[in-house]
Structure 1
């Protein structure tokens, strides 16, 4: 490797290290998160450098606190130290205390940037983004804020782990190998099937669009047929039930559907498609229900409609923060 090449690699490492330190500094904003996304997309080398620095941070463990203390916050060219321009309400005013720096990477405040595990994914979509990838002979469509890792193409078939989010899997009609998808504490195995897996918070749902899939959670397993959906969580599998396939797959056509959905739940779904954060400040307001079919690329229009339909007061703050009360 030439001296110029070595210098370029070293420069990428330093920049990637500054990005990691920025994320745990308490000074990160949604603008920074978007800038990081653009920086990683510049080349494979940029993305690999960042992934390596994230891996190093993970191995630091609790020692990561000393990492920030020792090196300090990164200094970005053209950025005034302490600037709060377009500051998202990430951790309140001021820098994040070093004692909780590691937590900010593993579980970012308000979910305004991806977690450490999501950043290490093989494939990941940002807020509002959808992406289609091919894994072996399986077509995988990733919904917004979705992260997966690929376990390899083994003799028994490809394997995928859904870290978080929602993905659809379409297998070829003629295949002799099974596809295994791991999501939370469950496992989905399919042959010649089309199915959708949604893994958010503490709950995972599996919807079979065509064919059959076998779902295992804990010590129980069951077969889910076409037009059925099953849900599991830490307590195990629930009973399979009929699914509205049009509604369950509407996200693939750019829509979200609410049917008598509590506003608090609807807002949680809107936050997956819209940069920033929408928060419902009134418990009674959060219990009001809404119904409708909305385009995912017009979330701000949806918020305006919600404010009119529910009588909520809407306040917009910098960083894409919207307060409903």
Structure 2
């Protein structure tokens, strides 16, 4: 049975068990591994755990004095009452904790077109935000959650086995420990590329584990493709470059346009189908247009905020 918020009662009880176990000073390495496996099984598990964690935080500051015979503080007493109510009365859980639940505060980082931003996260992990991208960061004592709203980001994750590092992007969830990986979110589609370490992708309750060098494309709720691109090419954007390896000019133009307010446009069906290779500096639309003109014989024309690539003979545009 689910409540009005779509949370299953059984899942909520499981989440209450894991929250209590995570708070216990008897927690073991096996508990940490089993907890991560439980999170990876279903997206609803993480959502239920986040909701219960918020209840715990609302109940007051957490006391770490777990010595036998120690009198519980008012905060810890109220939390025990909350957890007891969650476990003993499943029917009341939905109304009880949703009444207490408040919107979690998250740090938001965003870049404009042409910008990149390096971010130090609260756990000493790092994020590199690509052009025109946004992430919401929510870390607490039990979880590390980053939501990529749009754009692309690279994550360098430090180990914390008691708090899995989770990135949400479109329909997918990426769960990682010590690793470095890219995530890109375009509408309902997302792409994950692992450079080092390992990461698990959770989609439709299925778990896909990615090894270094592997990339997966998620189209909505479907795993569309898994490949192994050259890491140096896939990660070139980290240093402000884009590498094209025999791709259609139309695709290259779309990628270059992500980095510049000066839009590139192609006129001519034959030119659209031409292929291009090379290393290009992100945001330099004029230099890219000059190169295309040399390689294809296209004519280029600069207008207001645009550079046209026209399928005919012409001279490269001179950068002013």
Would you say same fold, with TM above 0.5?
Answer: yes
Q: Which residue of 2 aligns with 1:322?
A: 307
Matched, 1:193 2:162: no
Matched, 1:142 2:115: no
Deviation readout 1:91-132 (Å, 9 max, x if unpaired): xxxxxxxxxxxxxxxxxxxxxxxxxxxxx9921111211101
Q: 2 CA distance for matches of 1:202 and 1:282?
A: 30
RMSD, aligned CA: 2.0
Q: Which residue of 1 aligns with 2:262?
A: 276
- Any idea what SS the aligned residue of 2:289 has? helix
Matched, 1:171 2:157: yes
Q: 1 CA distance for matches of 2:296 and 2:176?
A: 43
Count of residue pairs brought into register by the alignment: 204
Matched, 1:300 2:283: no
Q: Which residue of 1 aligns with 2:110?
A: 124
- Any idea what SS the aligned residue of 2:158 has? coil
Q: 1 CA distance for matches of 2:293 and 2:109?
A: 35
Residues 298 and 323 (structure 1), Cα distance of their counterparts in 2 relative to 1, 3 Å cut = closer
The Cα of 1:221 is off from its aligned counterpart by 2.1
The Cα of 1:176 is off from its aligned counterpart by 3.6
Counterpart contact for 1:271–1:277, Cα < 8 Å: yes
Tell me which protein shows more helix as a share of its residues.
1
Q: Which residue of 2 aligns with 1:133?
A: 119
The Cα of 1:276 is off from its aligned counterpart by 2.8
Q: 1 CA distance for matches of 2:292 and 2:187?
A: 24
Residues 238 and 298 (structure 1), Cα distance of their counterparts in 2 relative to 1, 3 Å cut = same
Q: Where in structure 2 are there 5+ consecutive unaligned residues? A: 1-105, 311-320
Q: Which residue of 2 aligns with 1:238?
A: 224
The Cα of 1:173 is off from its aligned counterpart by 4.4
Moved over 6 A (4+): none
Q: Which residue of 2 aligns with 1:155?
A: 141
Structure number, greater radius of gyration: 2
Matched, 1:266 2:216: no
